[in-house]
C-alpha cells in the first residue's frame, strides 16, 4: 500500500519547499504520504531503527537519519514526535532559522508557547500547528455558512468524539481527542470563551480520565460542550451547530455527500407555547479534498510565501492550549468553573494587559509582564520580562525598561530614560526629559538621557532630573530630588538629594559613614555580605 502510494507520488511536481519529517510513527506516516504526494518529502528522521527501515522501504528516494543534528538547515521541518517533545523540538529548529510545522499540541504547557511565537516572529519563520479539522472541507463550508448568516445568531455547539481506543497513558482523553474540536469551535465562534468547566470519568486508571465532558461559555451567551471518550462501543465524530434560523450537522463518519447537512428547523410560538417547525435536511456539497493534504499544502504555501494567513499558526495553537489548560484545571478540581484571564494578549503573548490599558502593537514587552488599569505603553517602548506597570502608568516610545522592573501607581517613564534590570519606582515618582520646559516651546530635540542602574530603588514622589545617572543598587529616599549623578549603593535623601549612607544589594543600610575613608569595610547585618569603600563608592563585593 505504502509502496503504491509512493509510486504515484513520484510523478507529482516537485515542491519548491522541501521538508524533513521528524517522527515516523502512525501519524507521521500519514504526513509522509501527503508530503511525498506534494513532492516535498526530502528527509525522514526517527531514532528507532525499525521505523528507519520502514521509512527507507516506503520512500527510498528520501534520506533517512536517526538524529536531528543530521537535518540540513535549508529544509523546513514537520514534527510528528511524541507530544512531550513538541515544544523543545520546535524551539531547536526555529533557532536554526527553519520553518516548523508541529502536530498538536504545540506544547504541553501554555507557558511554553509565548517564547516559541516570539522566536518565530523574530526569525521571520513559519510556526504552524496541526489542528487537522481546520483544513476539512466541511469545516470550511460550515464557517462560510455561519459568516453568510445562513444559521442566524449562534446559540449552541456540541461535539462528540468517541471510539473504543486508542487508549493512552501519557495523556488523558481530553488532551488526546478534544484539541481538534476546540480549535474548530474557537474558529466558528470567532473568539475565546469566558468560562470553562469540565468533568470526567476514571475507569481504567485512577488519575487518567477515560471520558470527559467540557462546557464552554461565551459572554455573548453562546454555549458549547465537547464529549470525548475512548471507552465507547462505536466510532462517533459529530459536530452540531445550532443557530437561531437553522442547524447544521457535520458527521465525519459518513460519506462525502452526507458529511455536512443543513436543517432549516425553527420554532413557532402558538398561544404562548413553542412549537417546533421541522424542515427536510439539505446536504451541502463539499470538495473531495483530503484534509491532511490541504494542511500540508497550506504549510508549504506559507513557507514559500504564497499562501494566505494560516488558520492554525502559533497563536491559534496557544489559544487551544489555554482552553485545554482551563478544562484540565476544572477537571482536577471537581468541575469548578475556570474563568479565562481577560488580560491575556495575543499581540503580546505571555503578557497580562488589563482591558482598560492601552498598549501599542509595536511595543516590545517580555513574557510575564503585567500592565494594569488605565496604563499606556506606546509603540516603540521596550520592556523586559516580568515587568509590572501599575495603575495609571505611562511608558513613552523611547523609554527602555530591563527585566523585573516595577513601576508603582502613577509613574511615567519618558523618552530617553533607561531603567536597568530590577529597578523599583515608588508611587508617583517623577522622571523629566527636558531641563527648561515651556508649554509653547517644543523641546523634542533637547531631550536629555537618564540612566538608572541595576537594582536601584526610587522612593515615592521622588523626582529624577534628566541628564543624570544613578549607579547600581542606589536607594533614593521618598520625596528626594536628584539633581546630580548618584554613585552606586548610595543612600540619598533631600532636595537636592545628598548621600546619607550606603546600602547593600539586599537593600539594608550598611554601618558606614556617609563619607567613609578609602578602604573602609562594612558587613551587611541582613545577608552577611562584606563591602569595601574606595573613597567614592562601594564596589567589589567580598565574601564574609
Domain ranges of the chain: 2-130, 134-289
pLDDT(537) > 50: yes
**Separation in Å, CA 439 to CA 175, 225, 241, 307:** 59, 59, 59, 51
Query: Residue 273 has what pLDDT?
Result: 87
Cell of 358: 492601552
pLDDT band of 420, cuts 50, 70, 90: very high
Residue 293, preceding peptide bond in cis (omega within 30° of 0): no
pLDDT over 50 (residue 25): yes
Q: For residue 270, give every residue at least 6 positions away whose Cβ sits within 8 Å of its Cβ, in sequence order, or none.
A: none
Contact indicator for 46, 62 with CB cutoff of 8 Å? no
For 134-289, the fitting CATH number among 3.30.360.10, 3.40.190.10, 3.40.640.10, 1.10.1060.10 is 3.30.360.10
3-state SS of 12-65 is CCCCCCCEEEECCCHHHHHHHHHHHHCCCEEEEECCCHHHHHHHHHHCCCCEEE
Give percent of the chain above pLDDT 70: 96
**Dist CA 401 CA 524 (whole Å):** 29
Beta strand pairing call for 376-377 and 127-130: unpaired
**Contact 415/397 with Cβ under 8 angstroms?**
yes
Cell numbers given for 67: 538524529
Cβ-based neighbours of 382, under 8 Å, separated by 6 or more: 363, 364, 399, 400, 401
Over the stretch 474-528, which tens digit does the pLDDT of each residue have? 999 999 999 999 999 999 999 999 999 999 999 999 999 998 988 899 999 888 8
Kindly report, residue by residue over 195-250, the tens digit of the pLDDT.
999 999 999 998 899 999 999 999 999 999 999 999 999 999 999 999 999 999 99
Question: Quick one: average pLDDT of 136-155?
Answer: 95
State pTM to two decimals: 0.71
pLDDT, position 14: 67
Total H helices, total E strands in the chain:
9, 42
pLDDT of residue 7: 33
- Copy the grid coordinates of residue 40: 516535498
Instruction: Give the residue among 3, 57, 19, 248 at the shortest CA–CA distance from 145.
Output: 248
Written as nine digits, the cell of 246 is 437553522
Confidence band of 5 (pLDDT split at 50, 70, 90)? very low
pLDDT greater than 80 at residue 3: no
| CA–CA distance, 127 with 101 (Å, rounded to integer) | 6
Q: How confident is residue 296, by pLDDT bands cut at 50, 70 and 90?
A: very high
Give buried/exposed letters for 286-309 (b at 16+ CB in 10 A, else e). Answer: beeebbbbbbbbbbbbbbeeeeee
- Residues sharing a CB contact under 8 Å with residue 71, sequence separation 6 or more, in sequence order: 20, 22, 43, 45, 65, 77, 93
Backbone angles phi, psi at 52, to 5 degrees: -60, -45
d(CA 476, CA 456): 8
Of 132-141, 171-180, 251-260, where does mean pLDDT reach its minimum?
Answer: 171-180
Q: Is the pLDDT of residue 1 over 60?
A: no
Strand ranges in 52-178 using DSSP code E only, listed in sequence order? 63-65, 76-79, 100-103, 127-130, 154-164
2-130 maps to which CATH number?
Answer: 3.40.50.720
Q: Is 325 helix (H, G, I), strand (E, B) or coil?
A: helix
67-71, 277-281, 312-316, 348-352: which range is least confident on average?
A: 348-352
| 9-26: average pLDDT | 78
Cα atoms in the 13 Å half-sphere on the side-chain side of 372? 13
SS3 539: strand
Return the residue matching grid coordinates 519563520: 125
pLDDT band for position 258 (cuts 50, 70, 90): very high
Q: Give, in order, the Cα–Cα distances in Å from 402 to each of 22, 138, 203.
A: 37, 48, 50
Specify whether the CB–CB gap between 216 and 148 falls below 8 A. Answer: no
**Strands 370-371 and 352-353, sheet pairing:** parallel
Amino acid at each position: 500500500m505504502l509502496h503504491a502510494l509512493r509510486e504515484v507520488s513520484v510523478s507529482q511536481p516537485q515542491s519548491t519547499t522541501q521538508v524533513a519529517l521528524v517522527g515516523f510513527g502512525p501519524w507521521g506516516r500519514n504526513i509522509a504520504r501527503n508530503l511525498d504526494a506534494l513532492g516535498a518529502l526530502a528527509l525522514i528522521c526517527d531514532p528507532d531503527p525499525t521505523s528507519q527501515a520502514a521509512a527507507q522501504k516506503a520512500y527510498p528516494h528520501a534520506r533517512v537519519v536517526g538524529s536531528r543534528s543530521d537535518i540540513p538547515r535549508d529544509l523546513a521541518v514537520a514534527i510528528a514526535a511524541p507530544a512531550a517533545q513538541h515544544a523543545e523540538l520546535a524551539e531547536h529548529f526555529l533557532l536554526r532559522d527553519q520553518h516548523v510545522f508541529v502536530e498538536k499540541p504545540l506544547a504541553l504547557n501554555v507557558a511554553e508557547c509565548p517564547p516559541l511565537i516570539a522566536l518565530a516572529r523574530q526569525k521571520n519563520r513559519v510556526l504552524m500547528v496541526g489542528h487537522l479539522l481546520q483544513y476539512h472541507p466541511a469545516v470550511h463550508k460550515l464557517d462560510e455558512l455561519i459568516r453568510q448568516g445562513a444559521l442566524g445568531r449562534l446559540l449552541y455547539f456540541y461535539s462528540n468524539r468517541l471510539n473504543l481506543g486508542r487508549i493512552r497513558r501519557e495523556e488523558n482523553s481530553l488532551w488526546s481527542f478534544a484539541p481538534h474540536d476546540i480549535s474548530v469551535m474557537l474558529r466558528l465562534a470567532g473568539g475565546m470563551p469566558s468560562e470553562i468547566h469540565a468533568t470526567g470519568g476514571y475507569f481504567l486508571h485512577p488519575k487518567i480520565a477515560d471520558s470527559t465532558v467540557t462546557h464552554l461559555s461565551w459572554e455573548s451567551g453562546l454555549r458549547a460542550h465537547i464529549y470525548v471518550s475512548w471507552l465507547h462501543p462505536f466510532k462517533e465524530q459529530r459536530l452540531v451547530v445550532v443557530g437561531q434560523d437553522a442547524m447544521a450537522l457535520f458527521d465525519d463518519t459518513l460519506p462525502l455527500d452526507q458529511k455536512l447537512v443543513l436543517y432549516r428547523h425553527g420554532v413557532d410560538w402558538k398561544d404562548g407555547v413553542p412549537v417546533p417547525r421541522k424542515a427536510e435536511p439539505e446536504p451541502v456539497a463539499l470538495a473531495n479534498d483530503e484534509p491532511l493534504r490541504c494542511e500540508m499544502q497550506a504549510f508549504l504555501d506559507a513557507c514559500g510565501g504564497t499562501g494566505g494567513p494560516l488558520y492554525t499558526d502559533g497563536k491559534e495553537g496557544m489559544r487551544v492550549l489555554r482552553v485545554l489548560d482551563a478544562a484540565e484545571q476544572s477537571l482536577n478540581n471537581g468541575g469548578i468553573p475556570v474563568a479565562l484571564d481577560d488580560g491575556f494578549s495575543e499581540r503580546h503573548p505571555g503578557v497580562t494587559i488589563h482591558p482598560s490599558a492601552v498598549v501599542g502593537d509595536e511595543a516590545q514587552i517580555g513574557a510575564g509582564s503585567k500592565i494594569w488599569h488605565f496604563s499606556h505603553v506606546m509603540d516603540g517602548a521596550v520592556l523586559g520580562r516580568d515587568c509590572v506597570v501599575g495603575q495609571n502608568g505611562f511608558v513613552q516610545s523611547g523609554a527602555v525598561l530591563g527585566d523585573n522592573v516595577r513601576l508603582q501607581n502613577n509613574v511615567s517613564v519618558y523618552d530617553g530614560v533607561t531603567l536597568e534590570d530590577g529597578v523599583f519606582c515608588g508611587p508617583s515618582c517623577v522622571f523629566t526629559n527636558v531641563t527648561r520646559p515651556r508649554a509653547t516651546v517644543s523641546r523634542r530635540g533637547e531631550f536629555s538621557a537618564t540612566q538608572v542602574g541595576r537594582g536601584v530603588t526610587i522612593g515615592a514622589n521622588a523626582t529624577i532630573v534628566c541628564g543624570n545617572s544613578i549607579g547600581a543598587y542606589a536607594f533614593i529616599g521618598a520625596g528626594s530630588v536628584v539633581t546630580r549623578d548618584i554613585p552606586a549603593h548610595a543612600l540619598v535623601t533631600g532636595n537636592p538629594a545628598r548621600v546619607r549612607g550606603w546600602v547593600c544589594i539586599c537593600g539594608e543600610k550598611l554601618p558606614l559613614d556617609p563619607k567613609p575613608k578609602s578602604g573602609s569595610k562594612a558587613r551587611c547585618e541582613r545577608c552577611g555580605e562584606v563591602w569595601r569603600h574606595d573613597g567614592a563608592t562601594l564596589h567589589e563585593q567580598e565574601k564574609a
